[in-house]
Structure 1
Amino acid sequence: MTKREEIDLKRYIRNIPDFPKPGILFYDISTLMREPDAWQIAMGRLARQVAPWEPDMLAAVESRGFLTAAPLADRLGCGLLMLRKPGKLPGGTISHTYDLEYGSDTLQIQDDAIKPGQRVVVMDDLLATGGTLAASITLLRKAGANVVGASLLVELTGLGGRDKLDVPVKSLVTYEE
């Protein structure tokens, strides 16, 4: 086995053409997650990229953002909150509806999830066009968060999603798609 720093995580991410619809190339992180050594390396690298932001809270975007944010919050000793689709969070919520290329969508957060000014890093598995991540940042700010960065496993740099964000962005693996 090579040193942890030399492992190329792209080797563990499966590409599936035409999923979930024709013309889309899906980057499947489940193949990374089921390789214990590669997954540990990915979590270690995420911890190193997020820790300098000194987050009080990690905000996980439904649903694959939950997979990276939960173990990372444990490693960093910070809180975790979920950004979810409508109807999935109990209690009072704050909502934000945003436009996508093919329609609109809504994200919600529990109305007591953030104390004003808390340092929050938003996390998702993949950055493509940036619509969902930009909406997440808007929603978190509406709830009182100080969003200090965004962290991702995969970024499709050719789609320009990073350009829609006004926070620092760090990704472990990039593709030109």
Structure 2
Amino acid sequence: MPFAYLLTPASLAQSALFAGYYAYLNINVCSYRRLSGVAIGDGLTIGVSMPAAAKTDKEKQVAARGLARAFKAQGDFWSQTPFALIFLSISELNGLPYKWVHIIGSTLFLSRVLASQLALLDTDRKEAVAQDEVKRYRAAEGGARAVTGVIMLGVGFYNLRLGWKPLKDFLSF
């Protein structure tokens, strides 16, 4: 049994959820790459192309827009998740009860999934989605990002509170 498992079992269980969802986002990007024929890049800027599974130019354009959204969703998820999981694991190492690790980790997971799923929505097509709906989607996406920020600040302050006295002793003030 690995040593880290003994120290952070709740964070380990939470990380499996994040890894599974990231794999889903990665498969989503790969499928849009195959459809659009874009090997490198986000599909909207110049990139390296490959043979596309889509037959018509219209299908390729739709797939390229889908690739850009999938790329954005994957990037948003990837940019926030590692640091939040690291901070959560450090909090667990410092004695945060397992119950709170699971509550915070589950809230973080749901907020990141919500933000990623909202980023995947096709809000570029005006005929498909009303503008007030687009505003609600973007507000919800921003709210999910704010939840992630609050969680990161919360576990950061928890760790700072525990480490403040040793830090003061080290700095001799």
Q: What interval of TM-score do these two structures reach, taking the shorter chain for normalisation?
A: under 0.3
The TM-score with structure 1 as length reference comes to: 0.23
TM-score (norm 2): 0.23
Larger radius of gyration between Structure 1 and Structure 2: 2
Higher helix content, 1 or 2: 2
**Which structure dedicates a bigger proportion of its chain to strand?**
1
